C-alpha cells in the first residue's frame, strides 16, 4: 500500500524552519511514535507541499523534504496586519490585563462566525495592531520523518473528511 487519496497516513517527523535568509534552521515541533501525526490523505487537511512530497511513499519509508512558502502557508502579507479599535478588546482586556501583550495570540471571530487567531503587534490607547498571517507564513519548512503506517480510510472517514479513532477525531 502507498500514500494516496483516501488513505489514513501516520507519520513521525521533526520540523525546522528557515526564513530564506542566511540564518540557520530553527526547530519548531516534532511528532514522535507515541503521538504520530495521523491524517486523511488528499482531502486538503495538510499543506499542499507536504502531501505532494509524501504521495506514493510506503509504510516504513523515510522522507527529508523542504517546502517553499508558496506550497506551505504562503508569504506574509501586509494586508493581513490590521489596526482594530481598542474598544473591540476593552471588555476582555479589563478581565485579563495581560491579554493585549505584544506577541500574544488571541482567538477571534469575524462577522460570519469564522474563527481565526491573530498575534498582537502593537497596542495604543485607541488601536490594537493585529497580525493575522499564519506564524509560518514566509518560511521554508524542512521535514525529516517516516511513514509509520498506512491503512484504508473507512467510508465514514471519507464522508467526514477526517480520521476517526486513535490519532484522529472522535464524535
Distance CA 105, CA 99 (A): 9
Q: What is the pTM of this model?
A: 0.82
As a whole number, mean pLDDT of residues 71-98 equals 94
As a whole number, mean pLDDT of residues 139-165 equals 94
Across the beta sheet with 81-85, what order do the strands follow? 81-85, 127-131, 115-123, 105-109
How wide is the angle at C-alpha 44 spanned by C-alphas 113 and 1, nearest 5°? 150
Is the model's pLDDT at 2 over the cut of 80?
A: yes
Model confidence at 21, in pLDDT bands (50, 70, 90)?
A: low
Quickly tell me which residue has 495521523 as its cell.
38
Residue 24 confidence (pLDDT): 77
Sequence-ordered list of residues with C-beta below 8 angstroms from that of 163, at least 6 positions apart, any chain:
8, 38, 39, 40, 153, 157, 169
What SS3 class is residue 68? coil
As a whole number, mean pLDDT of residues 13-28 equals 84
Q: What percent of the chain is predicted at pLDDT more than 70? A: 94
What DSSP state is assigned to residue 58? B
| Grid cell in block for residue 21 | 535568509
As a whole number, mean pLDDT of residues 124-149 equals 95
Sequence-ordered list of residues with C-beta below 8 angstroms from that of 81, at least 6 positions apart, any chain:
121, 129, 130, 131, 132, 133
Distance CA 171, CA 168 (A): 10
Residue 149 confidence (pLDDT): 96
Query: Per CATH, the architecture of 78-131 is what?
Result: Beta Barrel (2.40)
Q: Which of 35-49, 53-67, 101-115 has the lowest mean pLDDT?
A: 101-115
Question: Mind listing the pLDDT tens digit for each residue in 31-48?
Answer: 999 999 999 999 999 999
HSE-CB for 90 with a 13 A CA cutoff: 7
Residue 112 confidence (pLDDT): 87
Distance CA 139, CA 151 (A): 31
Give the residue with greater pLDDT, 127 vs 22: 127
The torsion angles phi and psi of 17, rounded to 5 degrees, stand at -125, 165
Is the model's pLDDT at 171 over the cut of 80?
A: no
Residue 88 confidence (pLDDT): 93
Domain 7-74+136-160 has CATH 3.10.50.40: yes
| Grid cell in block for residue 22 | 542566511
What ranges do the domains of the chain cover? 7-74+136-160, 78-131
Average pLDDT score over the chain: 92
As a whole number, mean pLDDT of residues 160-168 equals 80
Is the model's pLDDT at 74 over the cut of 90?
A: yes
Amino acid at each position: 500500500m502507498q500514500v494516496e487519496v483516501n488513505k489514513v497516513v501516520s507519520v513521525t517527523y521533526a520540523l525546522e524552519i528557515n526564513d530564506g535568509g542566511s540564518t540557520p534552521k530553527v526547530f519548531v515541533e516534532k511528532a514522535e511514535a507515541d503521538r504520530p501525526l495521523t491524517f486523511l490523505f488528499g482531502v486538503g487537511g495538510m499543506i499542499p507541499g507536504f502531501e505532494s512530497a509524501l504521495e506514493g511513499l510506503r509504510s516504513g519509508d523515510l522522507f527529508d523534504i523542504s517546502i517553499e512558502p508558496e506550497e506551505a502557508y504562503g508569504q506574509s502579507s501586509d494586508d493581513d496586519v490590521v489596526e482594530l479599535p481598542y474598544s473591540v478588546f476593552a471588555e476582555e482586556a479589563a478581565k485579563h490585563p495581560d491579554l493585549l501583550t505584544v506577541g500574544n495570540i488571541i482567538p477571534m471571530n469575524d462577522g460570519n462566525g469564522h474563527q481565526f487567531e491573530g498575534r498582537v503587534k502593537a497596542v495604543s490607547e485607541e488601536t490594537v495592531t493585529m497580525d493575522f498571517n499564519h506564524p509560518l507564513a514566509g518560511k521554508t519548512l524542512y521535514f525529516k520523518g517516516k511513514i509509520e503506517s498506512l491503512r484504508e480510510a473507512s467510508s465514514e472517514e471519507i464522508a467526514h473528511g477526517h480520521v476517526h479513532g486513535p490519532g484522529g477525531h472522535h464524535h
